[in-house]
Structures are given as structure tokens and as C-alpha cells.
């Protein structure tokens, strides 16, 4: 009971803190940061304390009525690993945020959404009801979208649009898959959902829908297109979260679907196996090309996710022998989270100091910053798979599982995968070497050890903790075997596994990988990608001209579909009105009345004639004719003033003026009449257009009424 | 005392006639008067339906056909309560909004009158009564549509009238066809058309019933904006925003939907409709309506028109739920009737608030407006998320049931159409919400207004928006009370 309470608290407290922090942060930022940090620390405390009870048995919590189906949470060892990773990484990213974001705007919004993302991620990992899982997944997608576009510049918006579009499309696919699965299984409880009754085709269809949705988050090739953009556009702490934890939500979804819903459907498992390997190779290969350090790490993340996906496929392919695969996969999930956080913080420090990420500019930045260099080297070696560090342990386990699969299912597939595995790992060595050599070893006169004041405890503390974790997990991997073995049991594999991490073959494989990596670096990167331009050695990125899946394939295809649909539906939208107009016009022509034309022609004549008449009348009446006479009369009158003649002349002048007035009045009357005639003609012309429209409806109405009459008739006859 | 059931219908009518007396109800008293009437009517409605459950009342009975008969059942009460509740929100919103418009008194007179008509539709106990109120609704809302009095408004009004009356004519035809066979038009859960009674083998009667059903469906489909009879709806956007909000949320389009439900589940009954095979003709149109609405919405720059096309698509969801003829789909349709009403009225209120405060009508003008109208645009964003159907909001709940119903009908295509439309919904509404907050574009037009002060509307406008958004979220997190009511209604029918 108490445990259930604490599990609920893991959701309630962050949810509340997100809201309180947003309100509080407007007034006092320090208080808000303290609140958030203490919440993260508190939840981490709960997670640590819950280890004991979870290892005793699963904890299930049910809150009825919430979100319709009720909220069903479950904490077992599989989920615990994901939850622990979330609770461990988030506070460190938060500490780093406090320094990284000092000069950014909208910090309050950022922290609130950061906490909301934490809340939804936790919720997703804890959900036992697949609808709850989906809810938290969507909430997480949306809240992390705001983290991606936090900088609000053009690039961030483009990355964000890509991220959001794919997240929503993926979410809808997952929803469709869940609906179909629910339709067959009749329950929403993940561990009870079972599609055994569905045909294989149905299972594959459902599986692909859900896996595409989650695969987008897990950057499964070829659904990774949003990843390089979003990782680069997001502020560094958000990138950490995206890479270290949010990518794992996709992984979690894939594990759950593949294991519970699909029972390890072989077709899907093999598809993930091959796509996972492609993810390793494409991610690793593109990482070698990149010049922006954040992009190197982004593609590196993608490549490492490939290992995890490969491992998931191996778990299901190997079935009860898949213990090693479970160990390797889950361990790599944790290890990758830890290592990538360390590396991104390292890159973040550079960005804080220089606001620049291209290695052609920042090369040599870390040459004299020895502490930073040492910590970063630790991470680089760990991700490359240096024996004694944690990356080595998990990668070796996955590799051993691959060999076991090759042993179990002889054939060319696994042998090829084994060879490609070496190449993929060698690529990791090569691109990390590129990064490290360029930033921390090459010489650059501009950097002589300044910016040291920027490397403060919010950077060094998380990096030190993470390095410690890397070392401990690398040297003493057996310390985590207990939870891993329990998780293996949950995933249907035998938990009795004894990996031989430091056996000769494993060490030899690691040696081969490192040698291969050095060779790749020395040849491909140093010779092909590093060229002399204007006397400087500059890294170039020919991959910018490669075919891009999003710009060159997805967008044109979707645009074409969209345009086609638009044409069709625009027609569908308008056809009734068009049809009405067409029928009206046709009727018009059939009747051959052409009233409009006739009236227009005659109306024009009429109005011309009217105008002419009016003009002539006006000119006649307005005094052109009378005025001179009056003037003459006046002149004569003036001359004859006082004489006898003046009286009759005056009178005749008045009579003439009267006559002129009279004709003026008549002219106005005529003008009015002419105008009325013209107006009437024009009105008739207009009226005819709308009468046609009305007549159609009248026609329809009469038709309908006649029908009614007929039926009424029949009714009356009947009764 | 059962005649008291007419009170919620006649009270607004009397009140609207009384409101024309400008000597008694002066300009100053008009608003309090309307508020009192609307709220009183809500209380009266509640009292009456709880005092007389299962009441039947013949207002006028000439013969079996001409029979004005009121019989509020649970579906009718649900619709009446929804309408009255949203009417209250709209009233308060309109108080502020109508300050910018002329002829406020005329507006409120017809506004009150329409409330009575809508409740009349909800309470109708047979098809004839429904038809009478349905025609009245057209007449009552027509003055509201052409309220602006401009050339455009008059043209739209003409279109609205022509479409509505054509639809009503079809309804009349269908009604007579059905009556000629069943000799009864009253509504019963599960329908009155029973093939075993009418000798289901009679081919003529079968065809008559099929034609009757189809013409009723298409006739009511005109008000429910079923393509290709939807063109009046985007045009009717010239009305003042409170009206368009009501037209979209409850009054007109949902009356069409409600009538479709009555026809399908209470006149014919799901079994008979399934036997008639009428859905085969209707479902393709409905699916096209859903996708067309969403797709055309993408091309609209006028915000209200975009919302109008969105309504067409969302109504398509509900009609799909009706036409699929299974319980989950019907639950989904009923839920979406409620949820879409709440969501869409919020979106329209926001569109109106933007227009009221800034005069902006077009989507391209709205970049960066979220920084000035924070609360309003956050409400807009949340409603948009709900309309797309992202949990935990109410839009998701109804879409979940609709999609389940689609799968129960053994056709994934309907579910795919729903989700495709949901994606398009995201495509045409989400960028507005995002650009409102995160656009970096220069906005000289916006900056010129209000000297950089917050442009959030005053409380009478903002509180309805805020409360409705709260309902949107609340119904998503705790949908069970509504779902249980709706399930009970659906249970009566199946």
C-alpha cells in the first residue's frame, strides 16, 4: 500500500511542481529552480528506495475512472530500469540547464515544460494500461516539442515542424494499432493483451503500425529523419533528454509491443534486426561526415539506438536463450543514457563559451582545459567501447548474443550481421576520435585557456557523477546483474546468465574494432574529409549533397498525394453548385430566349437615345437659347431705359424667360422618364439571371410536390 | 400538470416577443433580461424534466399524422441540456461581442426564439413535430445569419434558406413515404419500423422504406452539412460570431445530427436500417465528407471558414458513428455530439475574440498574437489538441469510441479515414496555435493595436472561453459520468 502511494507520488509531485513552478517562476527564479531540483531529487530518492520492494515482486496501482479506463500503473524490474534511468538523468540535465539557459529567454516556460516532459515520461514507463501509455506518450511528444523549438528561430521551427508532424503521424499510427489490437484482444492491460487469435497478417499489420509509431521516437532507420534536425535545434539540456531518455520511450514501446502483443512475431523481429543494423551503420556513417559537434553526437545517438534495437530483436529471436540479449539491451539503454549525457554536456560547455558548434571554428578549444578534456575522453572511450568502461560491457553482451544467434540459426544472415557489427563499432571509434582530436588535441592560437570561468560546478558536477557511473558500471558490471536477471525473467528469457566480459575473445574483438576504427579515422576522415582550403585544414561534409530521405523522398511524395487529393476534393466541394449553374445555363440556352442579350442590346440603344434626348433638351432649355436673348433684351432695355419702347420690350423679354423656364421643366421630366426606362431595362436584365437559379429550385420543389401528391393519393386510397 | 413540459419551449418564445417592447425592456434592461431568461429557462428545463420523467404530451392532435407530440426521453433531455447550457455561455459572450454590432435587440429577440425552437426539436416525440420545429429553426436562425445586412450576408442567407428548405422538402417526402407504410411516426428506442409486422418480403414496401430512409437522411443531412449539401455552412460564417458559434456547436448542425439519430435509431431502428442496407449508399459519402472537410479546411485563410470546414469534417465523424449501426459507434457519435459542441464553440469564441479585439479575420494575420492574447490563445491551443483527438482531452474519448465502432463494422478503412482526418486537423489548426506563440515574424499590424498592452478580452468574454476549455479538459480526464449516460441511451436503442 505504501509502495503504491509512493508510485503515485512519482507522478503527482512532478505534475504539481510543473504547475507551481510555472506560477512561482514569474516572481522568483531561484526559488523555482530549487523547487524543481528538490522534486527531481525527491523522486530519485523514491526510485532508489523502491528497488527493494520491486525486487520482491511487482507493484500494481489502480486509480479508477481517470481518463475513462482508469489509470493503471505497474512497476516491475523491466520498468524499473527505465524509470531509474529517467530519474537519474533528469536532475543532472536540470543542473546543467541552470547554467546553459542563463542567457536564454522564456526560462520559465522551459522549466515548466521540462518538468511536464519528465512527468509524462515517468507516466509512460509506469503505465500498464496501453491507453494510459499512449496518453503519456502523446503528452510527452507535445511537451518535448516546445523544448525543441525553444530558441524560436527559423531553424528550430523547421526542425520542430518535422518533429511534431512525425510525432503526431506516429501517434495516430500507434493509436490505430492499439485500436486494432484492442478489437482482437478485448483488453487494454498490456500484460494480458494477446493477439494469438489473430491471423499472422493481422498481427504483422498491427505490429508494424505500432512499431512505426514508436520507431519514430527510437529513430529506427528510415524513420530517423527528424532526429538530426531536432537534436541540433533543441537547447543542449533538451537534446540530452531527447537522446538519453525520450528515445528510450520508443524503445520501451517497441519492447512492450513486440513481447506482449506480438509474442515475438518472427517477421517483425527479423525486420527490426535488419533495420537495427542499418540504423547502426547509417547513423555511424553519417556521424563521421558531420562537422557540427551536436550533429556528430545526434547521429551517434542514432547509431547507438541501433544497437538497442538489434538487441531487442535478438531477445525475441532467441526466446528463452535470450538472457544475454536482455542483459546487453537493457544495460546498453542505461549506459547510452549516461554516456550521451556526459558527451552532450561536454559539447554544451563549448557552446556556452563560443556559441558555435562547427569543428572548423572550435577546433583546439579544449586543448588546455585538462579537467574537461579528461571527463570528455572518458565518455568518448566509453561510447567507443573501451574495455573497462560501461559501453564495452553492454556492447560485448549484445555482440555475444548475436554470436549465440549465429550459433543457434546457422546461415549467412547472422555471419553478415556479425561482420557489419564490427564495422558499425569501428565507425563509433572513428567519429569519436574525429570529435576528440579536433576539439581537444588540435592546436588553435585563438584558444589559450580563456573561458575557464564558464566551466563551473553545474557543468562539472554532473560530468563527474556521470564519469563515476561510467567507471563503476564498467568495472563492476556484475553489480547490476540482479535487476537485469529479473528483467530477463519478465521478458521470457532465462535469467541465469554469466557473461564473460573479459574473456580473450571479447577483448580481441574489441582490439579489432579499435584498430579498424583507427584505420577508418586515418584514411577516411583524415584524408578524405579533411582538406586543405586556403592553407587551412578544413573538414568538409560531402554528405550534404547525398539524397535526403525527408526532402527528396517523403516531402515530394506527400506533396503529390496532397495535391491530387486537393484537386479531387475541391471538385467534390463544388460540384453541386457548379451543376446547378450548369443546368441553369443549359435551360437558358435551350429556351433560346437570350433575354439578357436582347435587353442589353436594346437597353443600350434605349439608354443612348434617352441620353441624347436629355442632352439636346438640356442644351435647348438650359438657356443656351434663352440667355443670349435675355442678354440682348437687357442690353436693349438698358439702352432704351426711360424710353417708350422699354415697356413692351421688357414684357416680351419676361415672356421669353418664362418660355425658357417652361421648357427646362419639361426637359427634366423627359430626362427622368428616360432614366426610369433605362433602369427598368437593366433591372430586367439582372432579374433574369436570378430567376433561372430560382426556377431550378422551383422545378425541384414542383417535382417533389408532385411526388408527394402521388404518394398521398396512394395513401388515401389505401386507408 | 404534464402540460408544463411545454414551458422550456414557450418561455423563450414569450420572452423573445416581450423583448421587442422597447418601452418596457429598455436598452439598459435588455442584457440582464436576456441573461435572466436564459438562466431561468435552464432551471425550468431541469425542474420540469426531473418532476415529470417519461412524460408524454399531445399539444395538438388532428389525426395520426398531424400530431404535435412532446416526449422528452433521455436523448432529448441530453440534447436540451447541452443546448441550454451552451446558450448561457453564448449569451454572456454575446453581451460583450454585440457591442460592436448594430441592431442588438433584433439579435437577442431571435437568439431567444431559437433557444425555444432547439428545445422543441429535442423534445419532439414524433417525426411530424420534429419536422415542424426543424422548419421553424430555419426561419428563426435566418435573421441571425443575415444580421450584418451586407450584400454578402444576404447572399449567404439566401443560400442558407434554399439549402435548408430543399432539405426540409426531402424530409417531408421521406416522412410521407414512411407514414404511408407504417401509419405511425412516433419515436421509440429501437424504432417502429418492424419488418416482421409489415411482411418484410414485400418488395414495394421495402423500396419505399429504403427511399424514405435515404431521403430523410439526406434531408436532415443538409443541416448536418453532409457533402455535397454542405456549401451553406462556410457561407453562413458571415453571421456574428456568437451566432456562428451556436450554429456550429448546437443550434443548427447538431439539430441535423440529432434528427439523423432520431431517424435512424428511433424511427427505423438499427436492425431495420441494417436490413434495408441503406448504409452502403451513405458510408462512401460520409467518408468523403470527413476527408473533404479536413482537406478543404487546409486551404482556407479566413479563420472562421477554416473552422467551418473543420465542422463539416467533424460532423462527418458523428454521421459515420450513426451510419455504422453498432453500439460503440453510436456511443462515439453521441459523445462527439457533446464534445465537438464544447470544443467548437470554444474555438469560435476565440476566433470572435480575436476579431473583436483586433479586427483580424485571416490566419496569416495571427502570427505572434499569442504573446498579446495569452489566455485566449492557450485556450485555443488546448481546444485544438482536443479536436485533433490527443489524450487526455475529451476529443480523444469520442474518437476512441468512434474508431472502435468503425472496427466493429469490420472495416479498417473507416478508422483510417478518421485518423487521416485527425492528422489533417492537426495540419490545419496546430500551426495557428504554434505560430501565435512562437512566430518571430514582424507584426506591424498587431503592434499598432493597443500599445503593446495585453489584448485578452474583458471578463464577460474571457470567462466563457476559459470555462469551456476547462470543460474540454475535464471531460477528457474524467469522462466516465458522461460515458455512462451515453452508454445507457445507446443501450436502450440496441
- Taking the C-alpha atoms of residue A71 and residue A62, their distance in angstroms, rounded to an integer, is 6
For an interface test with A, give the residue of B235, B293, B295 to mutate (most A CBs within 10 A): B295
Residues A391, A490: one domain? yes
CA A252, CA A78: separation in Å to the nearest integer? Answer: 9
Q: Is residue A393 part of a domain?
A: yes
The length of chain B in residues reads 494
Which residues make beta-bridge pairs with A505? none
Directed axis angle between helix A130-148 and helix A107-126, to 10°? 160
For residue B170, what is the nearest residue in chain A, using CA coordinates?
Answer: A704
Q: Which of A517, A546, A575 is the last residue of a domain?
A: A546
Who among A153, A160, A179 is closest to B403 (CB)?
A179
Which of B179, B291, B412 lies closest to A569 in CB terms?
B291
**Chain A nearest-CA residue for B290:** A569
CA angle B187–B189–B190, rounded 5-degree value:
110
Contacts of A105 (CB under 8 A, 6+ apart): none
From chain A, the residues in CB contact with B180 under 8 A are 711, 714-715, 718
C-alpha cell at A338: 549516461
Beta carbons within 8 Å of B439's beta carbon, 6+ residues apart: B367, B368
Task: Report if residue A281 sits inside a domain.
Answer: no
Q: Report the gap between the CA of B431 and the closest CA in chain A (Å).
A: 9
* Same-domain status, A465 and A417: yes
The ranges of chain A with pLDDT < 50 are 687-689, 716-719
CA dihedral A479, A118, A130, A554 (to 10 degrees): -110
Residues of A whose CB is below 8 A from B221: none
Q: Tell me the pLDDT of chain B (494 aa) as tens digits.
A: 778 888 889 999 999 888 888 788 888 888 889 999 999 999 999 898 888 878 888 888 878 888 888 888 889 999 999 999 999 999 999 888 888 888 888 888 999 999 999 999 999 988 999 999 999 999 988 888 888 888 888 888 888 888 898 899 999 999 998 888 888 888 888 888 776 655 556 677 788 888 889 999 999 999 888 878 888 888 888 888 888 888 766 778 999 999 999 999 998 888 888 888 888 888 888 888 888 888 888 888 888 889 999 999 999 999 999 998 888 899 999 999 999 999 999 999 999 998 888 888 888 888 888 888 888 998 999 999 999 888 888 888 899 899 888 888 877 788 888 888 888 888 888 888 888 888 777 777 777 777 777 778 888 888 989 999 999 999 888 888 889 999 998 888 88
Please answer yes or no on whether A175 and B419 come within 8 Å at the CB atom: yes
- Does residue A270 form part of some domain? no
| Chain A residues whose beta carbon lies within 8 Å of the beta carbon of residue B422 | 172
What is the three-class DSSP state of B20?
Answer: coil
Phi-psi region of B405 (alpha: psi -120 to 50; beta: other; left: phi over 0): alpha
Q: Is B291 an 8 Å CB contact of chain A?
A: yes
Contact A182/B at CB under 8 A: yes
Query: Can you give the pLDDT at residue B171?
Result: 92
Q: Are residues A252 and A345 in the same domain?
A: no
User: Within a domain: residue A556?
Assistant: no
Verify that A443 and A355 share a domain, yes or no: yes
Is residue A377, in this structure, part of any structural domain at all?
A: yes
Task: Provide the grid cell at B215.
Answer: 431521403
Nearest to A134 among B292, B299, B391 (CB): B391
pLDDT at A347: 85
Question: Same domain, yes or no, for A347 and A426?
Answer: yes
Chain B residues in contact with A71 by the CB 8 A cut-off are: none
Whether complex ipTM tops 0.90: no
B180 close contact with A: CB closer than 8 A: yes
In a domain, A325, yes or no: yes
Report yes or no on A575 lying in a domain. no
Of A66, A171, A714, the CB nearest to B478: A66
Predicted local distance difference test score (pLDDT) of residue A715:
52
Question: Which of A160, A169, A576 lies closest to B231 in CB terms?
Answer: A576
Query: Are residues A177 and A240 located together in one domain of the fold?
Result: yes
Shared-domain flag, residues A248 and A343 = no
Q: Are residues A243 and A350 in the same domain?
A: no
Q: Are residues A257 and A307 in the same domain?
A: no
Give the range of the structural domain holding residue A371, as residue numbers without chain letter.
286-546
Looking at the fold, whether A37 and A104 belong to one and the same domain comes out as: yes
| Chain-chain contact of A168 with B483 (C-beta, under 8 angstroms) | no
Examine the domain organization and report whether A462 and A329 are in the same domain: yes
Select the residue of A135, A172, A718 nearest B391 (Cβ to Cβ): A135
Tell if the CB–CB gap between A67 and B391 is shorter than 8 Å. yes
Check if the beta carbon of residue A126 is closer than 8 Å to that of residue A11. yes
Helical H segments across A592-645, by residue range: 595-621, 626-639
SS3 assignment, position A539: strand
CA A294 to each of CA A333, A555, A609: distance values in angstroms, whole numbers, following the listed order: 20, 25, 83
A416: in domain? yes
Spatial contact of A206 and A535, defined as CB atoms under 8 Å apart: no
Q: Do B169 and A135 touch (CB under 8 A)?
A: no
A26 touches chain B (CB under 8 A): no
**Phi, psi of A548, deg, nearest 5:** -110, 130
| Domain match, A66 and A208 both | yes
Q: Name, in order, each residue with C-beta under 8 angstroms of B91's C-beta and a sequence gap of 6 or more.
A: B34, B35, B38, B111
> How many domains does chain A contain in total?
3
**pLDDT digit string, tens, across residues A266-306:** 888 888 889 999 999 988 888 888 888 888 888 999 999 99
Q: Using CA atoms, how far apart are residues B87 and B89, in angstroms rounded to an integer?
A: 5
Start-to-end CA distance of chain B, whole Å, equals 32
Amino acid at each position: 500500500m505504501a509502495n503504491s502511494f509512493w508510485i503515485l507520488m512519482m507522478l503527482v509531485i512532478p505534475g504539481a511542481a510543473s504547475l507551481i513552478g510555472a506560477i512561482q517562476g514569474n516572481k522568483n527564479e531561484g526559488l523555482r529552480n530549487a523547487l524543481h531540483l528538490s522534486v527531481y531529487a525527491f523522486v530519485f530518492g523514491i526510485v532508489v528506495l523502491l528497488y527493494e520492494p520491486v525486487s520482491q515482486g511487482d507493484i500494481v496501482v489502480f486509480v479508477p475512472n481517470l481518463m475513462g479506463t482508469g489509470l493503471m500503473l505497474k512497476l516491475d524490474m523491466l520498468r524499473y530500469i527505465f524509470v531509474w534511468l529517467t530519474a537519474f538523468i533528469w536532475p543532472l540535465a536540470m543542473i546543467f540547464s541552470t547554467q546553459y539557459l542563463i542567457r536564454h529567454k522564456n526560462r520559465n516556460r522551459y522549466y515548466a515544460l521540462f518538468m511536464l516532459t519528465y512527468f509524462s515520461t515517468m507516466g509512460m514507463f509506469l503505465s500498464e494500461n496501453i491507453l494510459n501509455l499512449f496518453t503519456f506518450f502523446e503528452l510527452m511528444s507535445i511537451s518535448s516539442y516546445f523544448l525543441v523549438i525553444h530558441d524560436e528561430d527559423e531553424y528550430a521551427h523547421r526542425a520542430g515542424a518535422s518533429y511534431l508532424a512525425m510525432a503526431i503521424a506516429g501517434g495516430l499510427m500507434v493509436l490505430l494499432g492499439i485500436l486494432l489490437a484492442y478489437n482482437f484482444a478485448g483488453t487494454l492491460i498490456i500484460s494480458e493483451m494477446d493477439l494469438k487469435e489473430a491471423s499472422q497478417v493481422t498481427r504483422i499489420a498491427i505490429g508494424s503500425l505500432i512499431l512505426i509509431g514508436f520507431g519514430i521516437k527510437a529513430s529506427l532507420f528510415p524513420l530517423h529523419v527528424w532526429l538530426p534536425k531536432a537534436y541540433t535545434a533543441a537547447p543542449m539540456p533538451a537534446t540530452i533528454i531527447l537522446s538519453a531518455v525520450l528515445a528510450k520511450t520508443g524503445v520501451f514501446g517497441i519492447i512492450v509491443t513486440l513481447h506482449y502483443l506480438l509474442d515475438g512475431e518472427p517477421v517483425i523481429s527479423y525486420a527490426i534486426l535488419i533495420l537495427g543494423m542499418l540504423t547502426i551503420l547509417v547513423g555511424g556513417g553519417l556521424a563521421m561526415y558531420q562537422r557540427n559537434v551536436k550533429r556528430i553526437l545526434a547521429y551517434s545517438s542514432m547509431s547507438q539506438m541501433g544497437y538497442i534495437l538489434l538487441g531487442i530483436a535478438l531477445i525475441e529471436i532467441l526466446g528463452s536463450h535470450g538472457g544475454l540479449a536482455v542483459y546487453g539491451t537493457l544495460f546498453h539503454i542505461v549506459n547510452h543514457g549516461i554516456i550521451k549525457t556526459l558527451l552532450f554536456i561536454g559539447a554544451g560547455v563549448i557552446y556556452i563559451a563560443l556559441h558555435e558548434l562547427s569543428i572548423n571554428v572550435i577546433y583546439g578549444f579544449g586543448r588546455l582545459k585538462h579537467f574537461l578534456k579528461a571527463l570528455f575522453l572518458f565518455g568518448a572511450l566509453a561510447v567507443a567501447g573501451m574495455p573497462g568502461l560501461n559501453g564495452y560491457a553492454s556492447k560485448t553482451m549484445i555482440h555475444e548474443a548475436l554470436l549465440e544467434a549465429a550459433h543457434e540459426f546457422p546461415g549467412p544472415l547472422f555471419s553478415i550481421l556479425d561482420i557489419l557489427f564490427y564495422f558499425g563499432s569501428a565507425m563509433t571509434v572513428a567519429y569519436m576520435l574525429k570529435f576528440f582530436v579536433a576539439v581537444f588535441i588540435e592546436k588553435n592560437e585563438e584558444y589559450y585557456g580563456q573561458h575557464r570561468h564558464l566551466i563551473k560546478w553545474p557543468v562539472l558536477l554532473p560530468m563527474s557523477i556521470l564519469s563515476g557511473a561510467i567507471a563503476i558500471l564498467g568495472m563492476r558490471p556484475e553489480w547490476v546483474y540482479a535487476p537485469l536477471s529479473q528483467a530477463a525473467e519478465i521478458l521470457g528469457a532465462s535469467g541465469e546468465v554469466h557473461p564473460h566480459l573479459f574473456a580473450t575473445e571479447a577483448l580481441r574483438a574489441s582490439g579489432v574494432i579499435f584498430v579498424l576504427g583507427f584505420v577508418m579515422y586515418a584514411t577516411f576522415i583524415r584524408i578524405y574529409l579533411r582538406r586543405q582550403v586556403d592553407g587551412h585544414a578544413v573538414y568538409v561534409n560531402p554528405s550534404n549533397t547525398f539524397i535526403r530521405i525527408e526532402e527528396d523522398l517523403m516531402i515530394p511524395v506527400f506533396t503529390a498525394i496532397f495535391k491530387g487529393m486537393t484537386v479531387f476534393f475541391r471538385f467534390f466541394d463544388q460540384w453541386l453548385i457548379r451543376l446547378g449553374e450548369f443546368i441553369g445555363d443549359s435551360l437558358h440556352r435551350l429556351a433560346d430566349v437570350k433575354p439578357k442579350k436582347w435587353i442589353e442590346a436594346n437597353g443600350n440603344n434605349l439608354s443612348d437615345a434617352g441620353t441624347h434626348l436629355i442632352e439636346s433638351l438640356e442644351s435647348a432649355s438650359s438657356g443656351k437659347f434663352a440667355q443670349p436673348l435675355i442678354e440682348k433684351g437687357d442690353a436693349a432695355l438698358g439702352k432704351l431705359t426711360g424710353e417708350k419702347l422699354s415697356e413692351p420690350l421688357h414684357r416680351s423679354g419676361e415672356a421669353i424667360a418664362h418660355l425658357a423656364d417652361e421648357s427646362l421643366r419639361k426637359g427634366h421630366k423627359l430626362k427622368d422618364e428616360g432614366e426610369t426606362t433605362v433602369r427598368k431595362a437593366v433591372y430586367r436584365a439582372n432579374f433574369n439571371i436570378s430567376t433561372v437559379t430560382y426556377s431550378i429550385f422551383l422545378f425541384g420543389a414542383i417535382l417533389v410536390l408532385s411526388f408527394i401528391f402521388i404518394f398521398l393519393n396512394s395513401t388515401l386510397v389505401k386507408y | 400538470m404534464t402540460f408544463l413540459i411545454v414551458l422550456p419551449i414557450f418561455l423563450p418564445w414569450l420572452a423573445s416577443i416581450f423583448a421587442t417592447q422597447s418601452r418596457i425592456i429598455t436598452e439598459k434592461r435588455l442584457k440582464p433580461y436576456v441573461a435572466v431568461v436564459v438562466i431561468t429557462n435552464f432551471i425550468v428545463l431541469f425542474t420540469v424534466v426531473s418532476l415529470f420523467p417519461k412524460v408524454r404530451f399531445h399539444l395538438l392532435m388532428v389525426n395520426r399524422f398531424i400530431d404535435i407530440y412532446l416526449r422528452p426521453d433521455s436523448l432529448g433531455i441530453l440534447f436540451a441540456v447541452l443546448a441550454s447550457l451552451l446558450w448561457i455561455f453564448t449569451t454572456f459572450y454575446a453581451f460583450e461581442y454585440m457591442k460592436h454590432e448594430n441592431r442588438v435587440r433584433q439579435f437577442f429577440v431571435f437568439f431567444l426564439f431559437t433557444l425555444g425552437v432547439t428545445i422543441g426539436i429535442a423534445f419532439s416525440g414524433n417525426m411530424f413535430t420534429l419536422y415542424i420545429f426543424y422548419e421553424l429553426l430555419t426561419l428563426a436562425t435566418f435573421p441571425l445569419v443575415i444580421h450584418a445586412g451586407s450584400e454578402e450576408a444576404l447572399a449567404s442567407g439566401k443560400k442558407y434558406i434554399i439549402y435548408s428548405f430543399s432539405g426540409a422538402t426531402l424530409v417531408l417526402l421521406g416522412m410521407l413515404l414512411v407514414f404511408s407504410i407504417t401509419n405511425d411516426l412516433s419515436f421509440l428506442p429501437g424504432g417502429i419500423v418492424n419488418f416482421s409486422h409489415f411482411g418484410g418480403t414485400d418488395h414495394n414496401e421495402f423500396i419505399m422504406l429504403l427511399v424514405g430512409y435515404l431521403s430523410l437522411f439526406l434531408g436532415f443531412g443538409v443541416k448536418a452539412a453532409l457533402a455535397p449539401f454542405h456549401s451553406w455552412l462556410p457561407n453562413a460564417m458571415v453571421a456574428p460570431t456568437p451566432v456562428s458559434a451556436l450554429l456550429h456547436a448546437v443550434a443548427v448542425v447538431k439539430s441535423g445530427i440529432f434528427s439523423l439519430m432520431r431517424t435512424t435509431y428511433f424511427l427505423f431502428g438499427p436492425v431495420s436500417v441494417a436490413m434495408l442496407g441503406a448504409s452502403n449508399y451513405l458510408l462512401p459519402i460520409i467518408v468523403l465528407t470527413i476527408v473533404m472537410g479536413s482537406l478543404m479546411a487546409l486551404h482556407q485563410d479566413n479563420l472562421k471558414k477554416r473552422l467551418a470546414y473543420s465542422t463539416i469534417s467533424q460532423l462527418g465523424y458523428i454521421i459515420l458513428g450513426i451510419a455504422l449501426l453498432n453500439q460503440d459507434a453510436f456511443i462515439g457519435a453521441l459523445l462527439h455530439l457533446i464534445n465537438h459542441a464544447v470544443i467548437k464553440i470554444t474555438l469560435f469564441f476565440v476566433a470572435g475574440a480575436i476579431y473583436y479585439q483586433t479586427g483580424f479575420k485571416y490566419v496569416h494575420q495571427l502570427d505572434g498574437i499569442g504573446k498579446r492574447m495569452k489566455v485566449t490563445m492557450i485556450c485555443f491551443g488546448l481546444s485544438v489538441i482536443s479536436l485533433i483527438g490527443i489524450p487526455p482531452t475529451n476529443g480523444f474519448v469520442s474518437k476512441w469510441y468512434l474508431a472502435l465502432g468503425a472496427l466493429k463494422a469490420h472495416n479498417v478503412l473507416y478508422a483510417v479515414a478518421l485518423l487521416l482526418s485527425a492528422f489533417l486537423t492537426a495540419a490545419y489548426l496546430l500551426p495557428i496555435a504554434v505560430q501565435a506563440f512562437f512566430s518571430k515574424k514582424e507584426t506591424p499590424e498587431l503592434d499598432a493595436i493597443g500599445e503593446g498592452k495585453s489584448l485578452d478580452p474583458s471578463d464577460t468574454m474571457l470567462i466563457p472561453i476559459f470555462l469551456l476549455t476547462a470543460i474540454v479538459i475535464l471531460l477528457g480526464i474524467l469522462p466516465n459520468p458522461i460515458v455512462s449516460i451515453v452508454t445507457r441511451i445507446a443501450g436502450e436503442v440496441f
